[in-house]
Amino acid sequence: MGTHAVEQAAAAEQTGAGAAARPDSATRTGLLIIGASQSGVQLAVSLRALGFGEHITLLGDEDHRPYQRPALSKEFLQGTVESESLIFRSNDYWTEHNVALVKGEYIVRIDKDADGSGVAHSSSGKEFPFKRLALTVGARARKLEIDGGDLDGVLYLRNADDALALKARVGDATDVVVIGGGFIGLEAASSLHKMGKNVTVLEFGPRLVGRAVGEETAEYFLRAHRSRGLDIRLGTSARRFLAGDGPVDGRGAVSGVELQDGIVLPAQIVLVGIGVIPNTQLAEDLGLTVDNGIVVDRFALASDGTTVAIGDCANMPNPVPGSTPGERIRLESVNNAIEHAKVAAYSLTGHREEYAGIPWFWSNQADLKLQIAGLCNGYDQTVLRRDEERGKFSVLYYRQGRIIAADCVNAPLDFMAVRNALAKGQNIPAEAAADPATPLKTITTDR
């Protein structure tokens, strides 16, 4: 692969791999990827695998080398993995593959021409000229705007800095209140409980994990977490956060959470996990269509026909075979970031390949290893498979007699069987699936 000396030097400097000159602003990178995380990294890697010969700039606002987020609420928080193991690729990889990795630059404005080329401007005043643009800007934590929301110790968990801030406070804390009973809230709550903290989870809704899973799975998690020692309160929200004695770093430190009914829970840490908001400002400013994310077609192209947008920030046609025509979806998962990046890489190299495979997701909470295959929206029947003795639990979702998804807890074989069946367009008849002793792969049928 040919490399451009100036850009190589720039990549080396930006990644810290060596000292050299800054990129010449007259040098137009072949592709500017804004957002250096799961989907941006995968896009660069997939493009090189497809033989994309142009220079790539992978730019992000974080000061860290691109890293994997899932461990932030699990192993990294618990201190069972080193931060180095979360890094996607070495500096040498980027240099060898002619990718300039730019850290710590936040893009505030983009000027773009009809042919897809343009210049991105960062908050520090730098310019990044490009031939093509990819938006992999992800999503940010939704803020809880109540009294005391800016107190020291009221935290969020979206990126490495958030995780470091949380870890730094854990040692001195006895009581933690987690606001939000979604995946991130439950993962972090489980980790903090394992670390010896008294953890209370407040969930505003009537059940855990919102609409991402069906009622049986939500109920299973509620009971499982309670039996493992988490204090979970449904239908409850915080009215305000209370400050303790004296300011810390110019602000007060949180000491408790007052609930809507006036009850006060002690808390030296409040972790808010109430969902994310896709980062769409740049796309809106560019005049791209935005609707719960940057609207893209089946080939990951935004409404201007040249910019690609993928991962957590993108709203795409539902890729599941057999889904309602015209249905759109925005997914927040590692698997989606990877598969969507592959679609975009094909687009950028002049191919037309649609999303391959079936969306899947995992979430590890204490000893509960949840794997979800497919999307359960619109199901009209469920089949429960429960093996109390082995701690296995699966819910299979059906629409008009056909399997569309499964939630599997500590049941990887069920998960694999459903994922494979969905990928091959096969069915797993509901009547036969109810017996947990029957391996699902043995009862899979062709259409």
Q: Give residues in contact with ligand FAD (CB under 6 A).
A: 34-40, 60-62, 69-70, 72-73, 106-107, 136-139, 157-158, 184, 279, 282, 311-312, 332-335, 337, 361-363
| Minimum CB distance to ligand FAD smaller for 193 or for 402 | 193
**Distance in Å, CB of 73 to ligand FAD, minimum:** 4
Q: Which helix (H) or strand (E) holds 40?
A: helix 38-49
Distance (Å, whole) CA 60 – CA 137: 8
- The neighbour count for residue 154, using CB atoms within 10 Å, is 24
For residues 278 and 294, the answer to whether their CB atoms sit within 8 Å is: yes
Instruction: State the sign of the Cα–Cα–Cα–Cα dihedral 16, 21, 23, 25.
Output: positive
Query: Closer CB to ligand FAD, residue 72 or residue 433?
Result: 72
Q: Rounded to the nearest whole angstrom, what is the least distance from the CB of residue 427 to ligand FAD in the complex?
A: 26
In whole angstroms, the minimum distance from the beta carbon of 261 to ligand FAD comes to 30
> Could you tell me which of 407, 439, 403 has the C-alpha nearest to residue 421?
403
What residues have CB less than 8 Å from 424, skipping those under 6 apart? none
Which of 202/300 has CB closer to ligand FAD? 300
Residues 6 or more apart whose Cβ sits within 8 Å of residue 117 = 28, 129, 130, 131, 132
> Whose Cβ is closer to ligand FAD: residue 129's or residue 311's?
311
CB of 131 to ligand FAD, least distance (A): 19
Nearer to ligand FAD, 318 or 444 (CB): 318
CB of 368 to ligand FAD, least distance (A): 12
Q: Which is nearer to ligand FAD, 137 or 151 (CB)?
A: 137
Backbone angles phi, psi at 319, to 5 degrees: -85, -5
Q: For the CB of residue 340, give the shortest distance to ligand FAD in the complex, in Å.
A: 8
Q: Using the minimum distance from each CB to ligand FAD, give the nearer residue, 222 or 282.
A: 282
Among residues 184 and 209, whose Cβ is nearest to ligand FAD? 184
CA angle 283, 289, 291 (to 5 degrees): 95
Q: Which of 309, 332, 314 is closest to 33 using CA atoms?
A: 309
φ, ψ (nearest 5 deg) of residue 281: -60, -45
Q: Within 13 A of 177's CA, how many CA atoms are on the CB side?
A: 24
C-beta of 57 vs 236, nearer to ligand FAD: 57
Closest contact distance (angstroms) between CB of 64 and ligand FAD is 9
The residue (of 138 and 436) whose beta carbon lies closer to ligand FAD is 138
Measured from the CB of residue 429, what is the shortest distance to ligand FAD in angstroms? 29
C-beta of 432: minimal distance to ligand FAD in Å? 30
Find how far residue 12's CA is from the centre of its chain.
28
344 C-beta neighbours (distance < 10 Å), count = 29
Closest by CA to 293, choosing from 281, 304, 305, 307, is 281
The residue among 158 and 298 lying less far from ligand FAD, judged by its C-beta, is 158
The answer to whether 296 touches 288, Cβ cutoff 8 Å, is no
**First-residue to last-residue Cα distance in the chain:** 45
- CB neighbour list of residue 119: distance below 8 Å, 6 or more residues apart: 110, 111, 127, 128, 129, 130
The whole-angstrom separation of Cα 65 and Cα 113 is: 30
CB of 40 to ligand FAD, least distance (A): 5
Measured from the Cβ of residue 317, the count of other Cβ atoms closer than 10 Å reads 18
Task: Tell me whether residue 35 or residue 317 sits nearer to ligand FAD (CB atom).
Answer: 35
Cα separation, 360 vs 375, in Å, equals 8
φ and ψ at 67, to 5 degrees? -135, 165
How near is the Cβ of 62 to ligand FAD at its closest, in Å? 5
Least Å from the CB of residue 244 to ligand FAD: 27
